[in-house]
């Protein structure tokens, strides 16, 4: 590796742990309506249980030790027009020299933790399945990467950060996997760096109804294809989330600073804000209290602070050229794989999904939600092996790195 890439050990200062304990000790919780359930947000009983566990039993040092057993690194990356940011990332290099370089990109309220279940599934190769070199950054403003202090850090800047990280590791061609903002960031990477991003696999599929002018063939297919039961359930799911679960997006996309005061000062407020999404966006996933608090703690102890992670919503909403909408429309040249899960926050018909780009791989699952790499690591890993394996639509898309054959590799 280059000298500017160094191993990194996560070590939250003791005074931050002490301050957290003090805040949890004096927590004041609101009341709750009778039989409210999840209709009004995170239930009081659940939050009480989690606060008590966080205060009396949860061991961040144990979680920190587990994270530090992973191959953690940090490196400075200069972003055009912005400052140099210190980027934390997981880098699991396969023993297979010609393994496929894969960038895994998370979103909100996820983190680099989401890749950890994929690591043991993607490192090895056999005669039928490829191996991968896996790079999973804490994107800027998240986790243990630093954050920007300048306005306008939007999806192209997140894309630039991830792209420059891959180049710094010696990978001039690579593939990507992402959900949530990770989907949108990797899509913009494909738009800006198509000669480098050879294929993308996404699990948050946000295509739109095909139009005659832009997608004449898909429009015809859509016209003669009735909605399946899956499509109907997906439309219901999408409408429910839009009506009952989208307030966070409006707040974070318009006045993130105001919300940031509450999430920074109150660990319980941060816990409830994130926990609601972990419940609503998954497919009855059996979250343990330790899992929930690990995810929340990464935000609470993040280098840039919890408020910084909200600003991507504002910047992407106000970017008229490379905002969220652009990532949901046709991007040429980059081969696209799509995984469809029934409890994703938006579930669209496949004819809509195919308007996003040259689809070479599709999968559909009976269970799974928004955090697919965490809920269904078997599915995501299986998709990647099929898409980039022999006979898959992405096979040999990275020159000299097909996941099977021994070949020369960029010297790190």
Core vs surface per residue 222-260: b (16+ CB within 10 A) or e? beeeeeeeebeebeebbeebeeeeeebbebbbeebeebb
Among the options 88, 106, 201, 370, which is catalytic? 370
**Residue from 275, 313, 314, 365 carrying the catalytic annotation:** 313
Contact 346, 243 (CB under 8 A): no
Distance of CA 342 to the CA centre of its chain: 18
Can you count the helices (H) and strands (E) in the chain? Answer: 17, 9
CB 403, CB 99: distance < 8 Å: yes
Tokens describing residue 236: 């219901």
Cβ atoms of residues 29 and 47 within 8 Å = yes
Residue 335 has which token pair? 């081969």
Query: Which tokens in the block code for residue 101?
Result: 């370089």
What is d(CA 353, CA 265) in angstroms, rounded to the nearest whole number?
A: 40
DSSP conformational letter for 369: B
Q: Is 227 part of the annotated catalytic residue set?
A: no
Among the options 180, 280, 283, 319, which is catalytic? 180
Taking every pair of C-alpha atoms in the chain, what is the biggest distance, in angstroms?
65
Helical (H) or strand (E) element with 373: helix 372-375
Q: How far apart are CA 227 and CA 17, in angstroms?
A: 52
Q: Tell me the three state secondary structure of residue 15.
A: helix
Return the closest-CA partner of residue 134 out of 147, 150, 121, 143.
121
Give the separation between CA 155 and CA 327, rounded to whole angstroms: 9
Q: Is 180 labeled as catalytic in the residue annotation? A: yes
- Give bridge partners of residue 76 from the DSSP assignment: 86
What are the backbone angles phi and psi of residue 8, rounded to the nearest 5°? -130, 135
Nearest one of 9, 122, 141, 109 to 66, comparing CA atoms: 9
Q: Is 86 a catalytic residue?
A: no
Contact 27, 51 (CB under 8 A): yes
Tabulate helix, strand, coil % of the chain (nearest 5): 45, 15, 45
Active site residues: 180, 313, 370
């Amino acid at each position: 590796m280059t000298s500017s890439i160094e191993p990194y050990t996560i070590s939250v200062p003791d005074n931050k742990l002490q301050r957290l304990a003090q805040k949890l000790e004096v927590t004041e919780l609101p009341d709750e309506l009778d039989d409210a359930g999840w209709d009004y947000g995170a239930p009081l009983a659940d939050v009480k249980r989690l606060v008590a566990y966080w205060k009396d039993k949860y061991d961040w040092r144990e979680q920190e030790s587990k994270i530090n057993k992973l191959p953690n690194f940090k490196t400075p990356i200069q972003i055009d027009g912005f400052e140099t940011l210190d980027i934390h990332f997981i880098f699991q290099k396969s023993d297979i020299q010609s393994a496929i370089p894969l960038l895994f990109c998370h979103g909100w309220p996820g983190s680099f933790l989401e890749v950890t279940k994929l690591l043991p599934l993607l490192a090895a190769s056999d005669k039928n399945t490829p191996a991968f070199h896996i790079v999973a950054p804490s994107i800027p403003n998240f986790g243990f990467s630093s954050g920007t202090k300048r306005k306008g850090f939007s999806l192209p800047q997140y894309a630039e950060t991830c792209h420059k990280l891959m180049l710094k590791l010696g990978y001039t061609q690579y593939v990507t996997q992402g959900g949530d903002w990770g989907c949108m960031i990797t899509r913009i990477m494909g738009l800006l760096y198509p000669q480098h991003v050879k294929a993308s696999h996404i699990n948050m599929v946000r295509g739109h109804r095909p139009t005659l002018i832009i997608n004449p063939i898909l429009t015809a297919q859509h016209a003669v294809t009735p909605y399946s039961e899956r499509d109907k359930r997906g439309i219901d799911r999408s409408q429910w989330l839009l009506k009952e679960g989208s307030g966070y997006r409006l707040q974070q996309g318009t006045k993130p600073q105001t919300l940031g005061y509450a999430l920074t000062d109150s660990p319980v407020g941060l816990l409830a804000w994130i926990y609601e999404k972990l419940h609503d966006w998954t497919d009855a996933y059996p979250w343990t209290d330790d899992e929930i608090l690990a995810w929340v703690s990464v935000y609470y102890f993040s280098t840039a602070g919890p408020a910084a992670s909200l600003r991507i919503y504002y910047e992407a909403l106000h970017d008229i050229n490379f905002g969220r909408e652009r990532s949901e429309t046709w991007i040429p040249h980059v081969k696209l794989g799509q995984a469809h899960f029934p409890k994703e926050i938006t579930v669209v018909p496949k004819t809509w999904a195919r308007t996003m780009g040259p689809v070479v791989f599709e999968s559909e699952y009976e269970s799974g939600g928004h955090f697919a790499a965490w809920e269904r690591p078997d599915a995501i890993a299986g998709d990647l092996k099929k898409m980039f394996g022999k006979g898959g639509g992405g096979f040999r898309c990275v020159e000299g790195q097909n996941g099977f054959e021994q070949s020369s590799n960029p010297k790190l």
